[in-house]
């Protein structure tokens, strides 16, 4: 599960303008997730999100688990903050620290009005052959991998029917959410769950001819179920499946609790 992987972004994944009311209620939630592949747990993650009026912040961590640890130890910690403009999530800052074995990476993004104004990658990214470069226009109206999991909607029927423009510091893609029936697995999370079928389109920051991305765009079946978080008007992923060339990746929320 690397920060470069579109699968991880979609599975876990993949600021409202104006000040919050002076006495806005603060609601905080903590979620625990498992990621499995072919029936084996390969990663675990936790996320804590905080909502106050028109502002949000989220912190998360992910680490390899089970059979995946036999091959390598992967860990990551991330944070994002921002708010909403209508039903659009507008982050203001994002940071991800990631390690895979001895290899360490850091990505930090800053936003203004939905546009990325600063990108930092350590170590710096290397130029590669057949690369589709990120253009300045690609960075307008985008969100980061953590904020992408925060969907603001006035009602359940407004959750899908939108396109999320995603940027992780290198890879830029569009994820379009289409209404879909709830699966039996999704129904287990309650009557308020909303399921979306997701189609993705790589935009820039990737190598042409990459088979995994071609499969993701043209053949993969991606489903994400969202559940409401308290009275925030925000929906968060509770169950997701992503088809890959060699099998299906499944993300499940073990629990999402209101934190007192």
At 9-24, the pLDDT tens digits run: 444 454 233 333 334 6
Predicted pLDDT at 18:
31
26-37 and 40-52: which strand pairing? antiparallel
Predicted pLDDT at 233:
93
**The pLDDT of residue 210 is above 80:** yes
Secondary structure (H, E, C), the chain: CCCCCHHHHHHCCCCCCCCCCCCCCEEEEEEEEEEEECCEEEEEEEEEEEEECCEEEEEEEEEECCCHHHHCCEEEEEEEEEEEECCEEEEEEEEEEEEECCEEEEEEEEEECCEEEEEEEECCCCCCCCEECCCHHHHECCECCCHHHCEECCCHHHCCCEEEEEECCCCEEEEEEEEECCCHHHHCCCCCCEEEEEEEEEEECEECCCHHHHHHHHCCCEEEEEEECCCCCEEEEEEEEEEECCEEEEEEEEEEEECC
In a domain, 259, yes or no: no
Predicted pLDDT at 124:
94
Q: How far apart are CA 42 and CA 151, in angstroms?
A: 26
Count of domains for the chain: 1
Read off the pLDDT of residues 47-103 as tens digits, 9 standing for 90 and up. 999 999 889 999 999 888 765 555 567 889 999 999 998 889 999 999 999 898 888
Predicted pLDDT at 68:
54
Distance between alpha carbon 245 and the CA centroid of its chain, in Å?
A: 21
Domain extent for 101 = 6-17+26-254
* Residue 99, beta-bridge partner list: 75, 104
Predicted pLDDT at 260:
53
In a domain, 72, yes or no: yes
pLDDT band, residue 8 (cuts 50/70/90): very low
Read off the pLDDT of residues 129-167 as tens digits, 9 standing for 90 and up. 899 999 999 999 999 999 999 999 999 999 999 999 999
Mean pLDDT of all residues in 208-225: 93
Is residue 146 exposed (0-12), middle (13-18) or buried (19+ Cβ within 10 Å)? buried
Q: How far apart are CA 173 and CA 139, in angstroms?
A: 10
**The pLDDT of residue 2 is above 80:** no
Q: Which residue in the block uniquely carries the two structure tokens 């991305």?
A: 213
Predicted pLDDT at 251:
93
pLDDT band, residue 38 (cuts 50/70/90): confident
Q: How far apart are CA 10 and CA 8, in angstroms?
A: 5
In a domain, 203, yes or no: yes
Read off the pLDDT of residues 181-205 as tens digits, 9 standing for 90 and up. 999 999 999 999 999 999 999 999 9
Read off the pLDDT of residues 237-253 as tens digits, 9 standing for 90 and up. 999 999 988 899 999 99
Q: What is the pTM of this model?
A: 0.87
Q: Which residue in the block uniquely carries the two structure tokens 């995994």?
A: 212
In a domain, 1, yes or no: no
256 or 214, higher pLDDT: 214
Q: How far apart are CA 208 and CA 186, in angstroms?
A: 35
Q: Residues with Cβ < 8 Å from 34, sequence gap 6 or more?
A: 41, 43, 44, 65, 251, 252, 254
In a domain, 260, yes or no: no
């Amino acid at each position: 599960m690397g920060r470069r992987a579109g699968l991880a972004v979609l599975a876990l994944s993949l600021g409202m303008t104006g000040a919050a009311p002076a006495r806005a209620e603060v609601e905080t939630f903590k979620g625990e997730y498992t990621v499995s592949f072919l029936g084996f747990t390969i990663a675990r993650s936790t996320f804590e999100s905080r909502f106050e009026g028109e502002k949000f912040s989220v912190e998360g961590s992910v680490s390899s688990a089970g059979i995946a640890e036999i091959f390598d130890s992967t860990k990551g910690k991330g944070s994002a903050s921002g708010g909403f403009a209508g039903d659009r999530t507008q982050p203001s800052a994002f940071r991800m620290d990631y390690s895979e074995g001895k290899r360490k990476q850091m990505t930090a993004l800053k936003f203004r009005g939905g546009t990325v104004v600063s990108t930092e990658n350590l170590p710096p990214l290397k130029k590669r052959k057949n690369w589709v470069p990120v253009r300045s226009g690609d960075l307008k109206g985008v969100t980061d991998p953590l904020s992408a999991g925060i969907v603001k909607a006035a009602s359940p029927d407004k959750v899908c029917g939108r396109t999320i423009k995603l940027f992780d510091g290198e890879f830029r893609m569009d994820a379009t959410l289409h209404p879909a029936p709830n699966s039996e697995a999704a129904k287990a999370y309650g009557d308020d769950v909303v399921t979306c079928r997701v189609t993705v389109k790589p935009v820039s920051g990737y190598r042409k001819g990459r088979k995994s991305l071609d499969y993701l765009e043209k053949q993969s079946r991606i489903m994400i179920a969202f559940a409401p978080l308290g009275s925030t008007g925000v929906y968060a992923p509770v169950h997701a499946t992503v088809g890959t060339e060699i099998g299906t990746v499944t993300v499940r929320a073990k629990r999402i609790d209101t934190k007192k």
